Structure 1
Amino acid sequence: MSTPPPEHVRAAFGARTAEPVLIENGPVWRCGDVALRQAGSPAEASWVAQTLGELEVPDLRIARPVRSSDGRYVVGGWAAFRFVPGRPEPRYDDVVSASLRLHEATRHLPRPRFLGLRADVFAMADRVAWADERADLDADLGGRLFDLLSERRGELSTPAQVVHGDLFGTVLFDGDAAPGLIDFTAYYRPPEWAAAVVVVDALAWGGADDGIARRWSHLADWPQALLHALLFRLAVHALHPKSTQRSMRGLERAATKVTELL
């Protein structure tokens, strides 16, 4: 269970008297109209806050950052933003569409310096998937399938840019309102790849229909975008200490649908 933000943190963000309520999507603690989440990296959390504070994306509700009383984005390891109502729903085509709109707006952003300092499982898996690095992958938890599919890896013509690489399960829906975005997990890859990660995740673990991969085949380099997204998730799965054979079955289903388009 996540520990609620301490009183001095709530006070710094103008929410001293609000009772923290644990909600999904993070985990995140709602304190009135302010939501707080722990910030693992102050530099990355500050970048996310500044980015979400300045982005303007059509038909997307963006959680704007809340500065502390002394102007900081991060206090005591916590970052704050305006509460955006909603919850994840299996509206995966809407998530892909939101991804494309979002990344049209992030094309101009320079590559964040903190990306080169990341050493977590997801950063390593990203580099392995794009053949920027090698790693020992657990054969039974994705490594064997990774090796098989990586032989079909090719180039993407779309240039890399700042993208959100983890939109599955994090985009919020609230009735007929526009989708909500409350965080930004930055990668520097082509925008089609970010959309493809949503599709791979939806096929593997979201119960998406078999046709979702084909519905977006008009996007540039789509088969290779899907393949790189699948390789990324396979590498994550093979490296992550909490991976299981059960979750591997979902990736095997996704692999079947992706290879049909190669």
Structure 2
Amino acid sequence: MSTPPPQHVRAAFGAKNAEPVLIERGPVWRCDEVALRPASSPAEAAWVAQTLGDLHVPDLRIARPVRSSDGRYVVGGWVGFRFIEGRAEPRYDEVVSASLRLHQATVDLPRPRFLNLRADVFALADRAAWGEEKAPLDIDLGGKLFDEFASRRAKVDLKSQVVHGDLFGNVLFVGDAAPGIIDFTAFHRPAEWAAAVVVVDAMAWGGADDAIAKRWAHLPEWPQALLHALLFRLAVHALHPKSTPRSMRGLERAAHQIGEIV
């Protein structure tokens, strides 16, 4: 979103006189010490704000939500939180470690009701990856590989819980400070799967070394966690309208390496 939050929204979150600045991890607008982002789903945005407000994780900086002057989390389609410094860096093992710490803290959260209503690309891809429903996958943009690897699926004896399923590129680093997170993309899957999604993304698009997939092999049922993470990303790619053959190359590379493990 290239349009900054309107003045009445900034005023509601206590940043009436601040000049909005679009920051690189957009669409986020910094207004002094408050950051504002669009909220496409008010129910989900309110859940994220409340969850991050109550969450305390060792060695992790969390952008705390900002309530509006009348106590709301969402105003005019915008949600506010405290600005935290940092940028995404290729420190992928640290991101995996942060994922595991984060999900120790979310293990007892109840499953959000809005997950039942999701019908976007990522929700469809998630359900397809776990064999819960079929999706119209583009054969040339991931569907063929998806079918090949889906045949290797096995039952996973791991506990599903609330996890952040999109941490790659969304964990912020600045110097020696603890990693920071500013949002939460909720799924109800095993914590090992969420860690594996980071690994798949890092291999596919982050230039991570091939050994990253093996460095976390001590996690329970790691081969199947990796497989389901790969299937998820293949399904997203095969469903997403902006996918291209060029962006597929990274997933093909990751699939080749993961194929040697699963």
Indicate the TM-score class for this superposition, using the shorter chain for normalisation: over 0.9
CA distance in 2 between partners of 1:258 and 1:26 (Å): 31
CA distance in 1 between partners of 2:239 and 2:229 (Å): 15
CA distance in 2 between partners of 1:204 and 1:115 (Å): 27
Aligned pair count reads: 262
For residue 122 of structure 1, give the secondary structure of its aligned residue in structure 2.
helix
Match of 1:111 in 2: 111
CA distance in 2 between partners of 1:180 and 1:243 (Å): 28
TM-score when scaled to structure 2?
Answer: 0.99
CA distance in 2 between partners of 1:134 and 1:45 (Å): 28
Structure 1 residue 135: Cα displacement? 1.3
CA distance in 1 between partners of 2:27 and 2:135 (Å): 30
CA distance in 2 between partners of 1:2 and 1:160 (Å): 37
CA distance in 2 between partners of 1:257 and 1:164 (Å): 24
CA distance in 1 between partners of 2:249 and 2:211 (Å): 19
Q: Which runs of 5+ in 1 are unaligned?
A: none
Letter of the aligned partner of 1:55 in structure 2?
Answer: L
Letter of the aligned partner of 1:135 in structure 2?
Answer: A
Within-5 A mapping of 1:40-189: 40-189=40-189
CA distance in 1 between partners of 2:170 and 2:194 (Å): 13
TM-score when scaled to structure 1?
Answer: 0.99
For residue 43 of structure 1, give the secondary structure of its aligned residue in structure 2.
helix
Structure 1 residue 228: Cα displacement? 0.2
CA distance in 1 between partners of 2:71 and 2:104 (Å): 29
For residue 171 of structure 2, give the secondary structure of its aligned residue in structure 1.
coil
**Match status 1:2 vs 2:2:** yes
For residue 256 of structure 1, give the secondary structure of its aligned residue in structure 2.
helix
Letter of the aligned partner of 1:75 in structure 2?
Answer: V
Letter of the aligned partner of 1:53 in structure 2?
Answer: G
Structure 1 residue 26: Cα displacement? 3.0
Q: How big is each residue's C-alpha offset from its partner over 1:185-207, in whole Å with a ceiling of 9 and x where there is no partner? A: 00000000000000000000000
CA distance in 1 between partners of 2:123 and 2:185 (Å): 11
CA distance in 1 between partners of 2:171 and 2:69 (Å): 29
Structure 1 residue 260: Cα displacement? 1.0
CA distance in 1 between partners of 2:26 and 2:188 (Å): 22
